[in-house]
Amino acid sequence: QVQLVESGGGLVQAGDSLRLSCAASGRAFSSYGMGWFRQAPGKEREIVAAISRGGGNTYYSDSVKGRFTISRDNAKNTVDLQMNRLKPEDTAVYYCARGGDRYLDIPQLEESEYDYWGQGTQVTVSS
């Protein structure tokens, strides 16, 4: 059984930074890609960033490219999302998720490709 627990959300002002962390339980963390998604009120969940199992390949949505950085520590079973220069439109519930395909060396981009999800952490950016 895999459990993902996010932390680090909160209320910040535009321009501030925030770091989200996701702790994973279960075996073989390093065999799976990981992703961060977000869902704003009234909108569909969307991918924010993804990282391959070894951390060598990453993906960012256009809306966060250059501001957010995804990273992982396979020794600690964690995946982080460093968010800089936050904007009010970044306000959402952020979820981490585990890719469903083992041993892939490319990030998975579709929500349907992820099989385990955290409970989400709220990020609110005030203007």
The string of pLDDT tens digits covering residues 76-106 is 999 999 999 999 999 999 999 999 999 889 9
Burial status of residue 1 (CB atoms within 10 A of its CB: 0-12, 13-18, 19 or more): exposed
The string of pLDDT tens digits covering residues 15-68 is 999 999 999 998 899 999 999 999 999 999 999 999 999 999 999 999 999 999
